[in-house]
Amino acid sequence: MAITFLQLAQKVLSEEKQPLSPSEIWDIVQSKGYEKLVASKGKTPWATLYALIYVDVRDNPSSVFVQLGERPKRFILKNQVNSLDGKIPEATPPIAIKKPEFLEKDLHPLMVYYGFYYLKAYLKTIFHNRSDKKGFGEWVHPDIVGCYFPFRDWEGEVVEVSTLMGNTAVKLYSFELKRELSITNIRESFFQAVSNSSWANEGYLVAANVDTDDDFMNELKRLSTAFGVGVIRLDIDEPDSSEIILPAKSKDIIDWDTVNKLSSINPDFRDFLKRIRNDMTSREARKEMYDPVLDKEELLKSLAKKKISP
C-alpha cells in the first residue's frame, strides 16, 4: 500500500533521529529504496517533499514536524527535539535541482509564435517597469496581452453585420509567463495569473516546464476549473508542440474598469488599445506594430543563444 510524501518523510526522520533537509531526506529515501513506497514522484520529488513539509509546518498546528535553521531549512520530528541538546549537525551537500535553461523574458518570442499561429492573435509584451504602480497592488499587469481579430477569418460582410449587431467577436487575451510550474510555486503563480487576467476574455498561465506529478496536476486542474484560468505549456525544443493543456473559461464581457486602470498606469497597454482601435477601424491588423513573430528557424536560433550556462 502506497504512503504519502509526509508519511515517507516521517519514516525517514524517525529512523535517522537528526534534522535533515528535504534533499537529504530524499537521498536517504533512494539509498534505502523507499522511493517505491510512494505512488507518485514526478520529475522533482525532493521539491515536492520540501513544499509539502513546509506547508504542513506552516499551516498545520498538529504537524509532527519542526523546522530548524535556514539555508538549508531542515526538519525534525517534534518528539525528537529534546534529544538534540541544542546541537544541529552540519548539513550534507543538497541534491542539485536542475534549473530551467531560460529566463522568463526569453520565452516571450515563443509565446508570440504560438499565439500568432495557434490562437490567431497578435501579442504585445507589457513592460512592468514602465508603469506607475502607486496605489495599486503588485499583481496588476500580465506579462503579455493579445488580441484576436475576426476579420482575419471572416468575410467583410460578416464583420460588418456582427459589428452592427454589437458582437464584434474580438477576443482579448492575458498571459502570465513562468519558467516552470511545480508544487513549490503553483499557488502564487496561479493567483498572480488570476489577478492579472480578470479583465480579459481569456487568461492563461504559461510555462516551459510543467511538473507532471499526479498530485500537482490534480491541483492545477482544480484551480483552473475553479477560477477559469487556462494553462499553456511551451516547448522550447519544438515550438509547434506547444499546447494548451488546460483551456481557459472564455468570458463574453470585458472588465472595462480594469482595462481603464491598466491603460492609465502602463503606456505599453495604452498603446496596445490604440493599436486595436486603429486595426479595427481599418479592418487590417498591422503585424509589425505588435511583438515580432519569428519564423521557426529564427525562433530556435534565438532560444539557443539565450541558454543559461550551467
**Structural domain boundaries enclosing 215:** 104-305
Domain-located, residue 254: yes
Taking Cα atoms as reference points, which of 8, 116, 13, 115 lies closest to residue 74?
13
**How many whole angstroms separate alpha carbon 226 and alpha carbon 240?**
29
Tell me phi and psi for residue 243, to 5 degrees.
-155, 155
Give yes or no: residues 157 and 298 share one domain: yes
Outline where DSSP puts E strands in the chain. Answer: 65-68, 74-77, 121-125, 144-148, 171-181, 202-210, 230-233, 243-246
Domain-located, residue 96: no
Domain-located, residue 164: yes
Give yes or no: residues 108 and 80 share one domain: no
Taking Cα atoms as reference points, which of 269, 237, 56 lies closest to residue 147?
269
Burial label, 288 (beta-carbon count in 10 A; 0-12, 13-18, 19+): exposed
Torsion angle of C-alpha atoms 202, 205, 187, 130, degrees rounded to 10:
-90
Domain-located, residue 98: no
Q: In this predicted structure, what is the pLDDT of residue 167?
A: 55
Q: What is the pLDDT of residues 120-131, one digit of tens each?
A: 899 999 987 777
Q: In this predicted structure, what is the pLDDT of residue 36?
A: 83
* CB 34 within 8 Å of CB 8: yes
* Pairing of β 65-68 and β 121-125: unpaired
- At a CB cut-off of 8 Å and minimum separation 6, what does 201 contact? 171, 172, 173, 250, 251, 252, 254
Q: In this structure, how many other beta carbons lie within 10 angstroms of the beta carbon of residue 248? A: 23
Give yes or no: residues 59 and 108 share one domain: no
Domain-located, residue 205: yes
> In terms of pLDDT, which residue wins out, 171 or 215?
171
C-alpha cell read off for 273: 488599445
| pLDDT (mean) for 35-57 | 74
**How many whole angstroms separate alpha carbon 125 and alpha carbon 275?**
13
Q: In this predicted structure, what is the pLDDT of residue 90?
A: 46
> In terms of pLDDT, which residue wins out, 169 or 178?
178
Q: In this predicted structure, what is the pLDDT of residue 224?
A: 93
Q: In this predicted structure, what is the pLDDT of residue 287?
A: 87
Q: In this predicted structure, what is the pLDDT of residue 292?
A: 93
Give yes or no: residues 30 and 122 share one domain: no
Domain-located, residue 91: no
> In terms of pLDDT, which residue wins out, 24 or 85?
24
Give yes or no: residues 175 and 296 share one domain: yes
| pLDDT (mean) for 2-23 | 86
**How many whole angstroms separate alpha carbon 239 and alpha carbon 237?**
6
Q: In this predicted structure, what is the pLDDT of residue 232?
A: 95
Give yes or no: residues 21 and 121 share one domain: no
What is the overall mean pLDDT for the chain?
81
Give yes or no: residues 240 and 164 share one domain: yes
Give yes or no: residues 43 and 112 share one domain: no
* Pairing of β 171-181 and β 144-148: antiparallel
> In terms of pLDDT, which residue wins out, 12 or 40?
12
pTM above 0.75, yes or no: no
Give yes or no: residues 55 and 127 share one domain: no
Residue 59 sits in a domain whose CATH number is: 1.10.10
Q: How far is CA 253 from CA 18, 126, 142, 244, 300, in A?
A: 57, 22, 18, 22, 37
Q: In this predicted structure, what is the pLDDT of residue 98?
A: 44
Give yes or no: residues 53 and 180 share one domain: no
Give yes or no: residues 113 and 257 share one domain: yes
Q: In this predicted structure, what is the pLDDT of residue 145?
A: 95
Q: In this predicted structure, what is the pLDDT of residue 168?
A: 60
Domain-located, residue 63: yes
Lowest mean pLDDT segment, chosen from 69-73, 117-121, 152-156, 223-227: 152-156
Domain-located, residue 264: yes
**How many whole angstroms separate alpha carbon 142 and alpha carbon 73?**
32
Q: What is the pLDDT of residues 106-162, one digit of tens each?
A: 899 999 999 998 898 999 999 877 777 654 545 678 899 999 987 665 556 555 655
**How many whole angstroms separate alpha carbon 104 and alpha carbon 209?**
11
> Band of the pLDDT at 89, cuts 50, 70, 90?
very low
- Ranked by mean pLDDT, the top range of 25-29, 51-55, 257-261 is 257-261
Q: In this predicted structure, what is the pLDDT of residue 71?
A: 54
Q: In this predicted structure, what is the pLDDT of residue 94?
A: 40
Work out how many domains the chain is built from and give that number: 2
> Band of the pLDDT at 203, cuts 50, 70, 90?
very high
Q: In this predicted structure, what is the pLDDT of residue 310?
A: 37
Give yes or no: residues 294 and 167 share one domain: yes
pLDDT tops 70 at residue 195? yes
